[in-house]
Amino acid sequence: MERVHTTPRLDKLGIKTGMRVALVDLVDDAFEAELRDRTHDITRGDPLPDTHVVVFAADSREALGRLPALRERIVPNGAIWVVSRKGRAATIRDVDVIDAARAAALVDNKVASFDETRTSLRLVIPVALRPAP
């Protein structure tokens, strides 16, 4: 029997021990329990300043309008994961997320399955726009 190796969801999302994480419009008890095993610096709603990872549930173009404000709350090398429905249940497409990201001076650089019904797209501040170390 062949062994199937699956990467844990938090590893796919790049969430490391002790990171500051914000859950924006995401209600997912199972995900939050996973997260609490890795970090206790978790907020719901508006992210605190210097957040490492924002996990943002968005299922409309209007919701994506929050990206500029979320961008202001992440560390320069942080990420915003936009979580949305996939397949027939999808109400926005990846190109909608990418267009909204560009408008917020963000770029997409990774996609990952969030769960059976949702996908996620990682948005980051382009290196050229990050402050010098």
Question: Does residue 48 sit within a domain?
Answer: yes
pTM, rounded to two decimals: 0.94
Question: Does residue 57 sit within a domain?
Answer: yes
Question: Does residue 133 sit within a domain?
Answer: no
DSSP assignments along 100-117, one per residue = HHHHTT-EEEEEEE-SSS
Question: Does residue 103 sit within a domain?
Answer: yes
Question: Does residue 16 sit within a domain?
Answer: yes
Domain of residue 87, residue span: 9-125
DSSP assignments along 62-115, one per residue = TGGGGHHHHHTTEEEEEEEEEEEE-GGG-SS-HHHHHHHHHHTT-EEEEEEE-S
CATH of the domain at 98: 3.40.50.150
Q: How many domains does the chain have?
A: 1
Q: What is the pLDDT along the chain (133 residues), one digit of tens a residue?
A: 566 668 899 999 999 999 999 999 999 999 999 999 999 999 999 999 999 999 999 999 999 999 999 999 999 999 999 999 999 999 999 999 999 999 999 999 999 999 999 999 999 999 999 998 7
Question: Does residue 132 sit within a domain?
Answer: no
Question: Does residue 117 sit within a domain?
Answer: yes
Question: Does residue 2 sit within a domain?
Answer: no
